[in-house]
Structure 1
Amino acid sequence: METDDELLTRSVRDTEAFEPLVARHSTALHGYLARRAPRAADDLLAEVWLQAYTARGTYDSGRGAARTWLFGVARNVLAAHWRRHSDDRRTPRAAEESDDPWQAVDRRLDAAAVAPLIRRTLAGLPHVERELLLLVAWEQLTPTEAAAVVGIPPGTARSRLHRARTRLRSALGTPQTPPLAGDLA
């Protein structure tokens, strides 16, 4: 079985090699889009695959895995969607907020009891920290893969991810570090 990187590279010469990528990654990409733009997720997924197919010749395996590249394409498609629809809003908002509709994400949180607190905490995070946290927590990307998606160095991503997790833990009243065995007595 060919790896994603091999398939994506081969798809430049053999278009049928692109099909297994769609089968392997559609569910994860759709989930990423649905958590951020639930009503438009299906259309956005189609746009992701169209753009990925069109740009497949620009993929460079030296810059990261094919999965990471696909999430980067999805992130760009989502950002373009938010920019297009930010003009539809009636109340003026800051540019970062208008590109990031967290009310839709909030409606999808399962933990209803802490949803308001999580919402405030996520909204208070800088955009990149929030995106890193969600890519790692929801999309199960590694911090290095998430760094590639948002276009920052891995070390920077790890420190920003740590900061975001610390703020979320603090807001939820979760201990920062597990207690030592002697502290349990």
Structure 2
Amino acid sequence: MRVSAHFLVLEQLPGTKGGQAVTDDSQRFTTMYDECRQRVWAYVVSQAGRQIADEVVSETFAIAWRRFDDIPEPALPWLLGVARNVLRDNIRAEMRRESLAGELRAWTEEDHADQVAERLAVMNALASLNPDERELLILVAWQGLTPRDAARVIGCSAATFRVRLHRARKRLVQAMKTAPAVRPQTRVRNLSEEWS
């Protein structure tokens, strides 16, 4: 299904003939698509929910095809930046916040009781942050990007990103300390140490 979706994108793009692009570019694009698609999709889901993820990912890779020669190595931070811009063009911050909370709740329904309580506390604390702070934490903690790569996604310097990330982490820890679902302060302290 992944590869067929890729070829659907190619068929819709100018400069292709019946879904066949220049062989080298097509091969390189296919490799990039296979390596990055799932992480771009997960990023979009984390920001806006599953209901628009496929559309945003398709548009992101359509832009990537049109600007293929401009994509730096590694491609993932650039693709995530494009996906971020597509999202900002299509939805408002409030819709992203509601969708993220719904998606995260759905992921915890089958967990054990303690894990559910802990994850709900993290979700509630995360949902209490503003969308920009939440995005910083998601890029580093869930997407696994380095601060330098995440700074490229956001469009700021690595130093600025680190300052913003530090502030977002402090706000998350403070929100978790005041959250009624998780009382033990040691877990909050451990979470903050894990992200340091």
With structure 1 as the length reference, what TM-score do the two structures score? 0.69
Structure 1 residue 138: deviation in Å? Answer: 1.5
> Higher helix fraction: Structure 1 or Structure 2?
2
Distance 2:136 2:70 in 1: 24
Matches within 5 A, 1:1-185: 14-16=24-26, 17-35=28-46, 36-59=48-71, 61=72, 65-82=74-91, 97-98=93-94, 101-109=96-104, 110=108, 112-113=116-117, 117-118=121-122, 121-173=125-177, 174-175=188-189
Distance 1:137 1:50 in 2: 27
* Closer/same/farther in 2, CA of residues 23 and 134 from structure 1, 3 Å limit: same
Structure 1 residue 39: deviation in Å? Answer: 0.7
Distance 1:29 1:12 in 2: 24
Structure 2 runs not aligned, ≥5 long: 1-20, 109-114, 178-187
Q: Deviations over 1:81-103 (max 9, x none)?
A: 215xxxxxxxxxxxxx44x5211
Q: Is the contact made by 1:132 and 1:143 (CA closer than 8 Å) also made in structure 2?
A: no
Pairwise CA RMSD of aligned residues? 2.7
* Closer/same/farther in 2, CA of residues 137 and 128 from structure 1, 3 Å limit: same
Identity %: 34
Structure 1 residue 175: deviation in Å? Answer: 2.6
Q: Deviations over 1:100-124 (max 9, x none)?
A: 5211110122365356654554344
What residue in structure 2 maps to residue 182 of structure 1?
none
Distance 2:59 2:137 in 1: 24
Distance 1:146 1:41 in 2: 20
Equivalent residue pairs, number: 151
Distance 1:172 1:12 in 2: 52
Distance 2:116 2:62 in 1: 36
With structure 2 as the length reference, what TM-score do the two structures score? 0.66
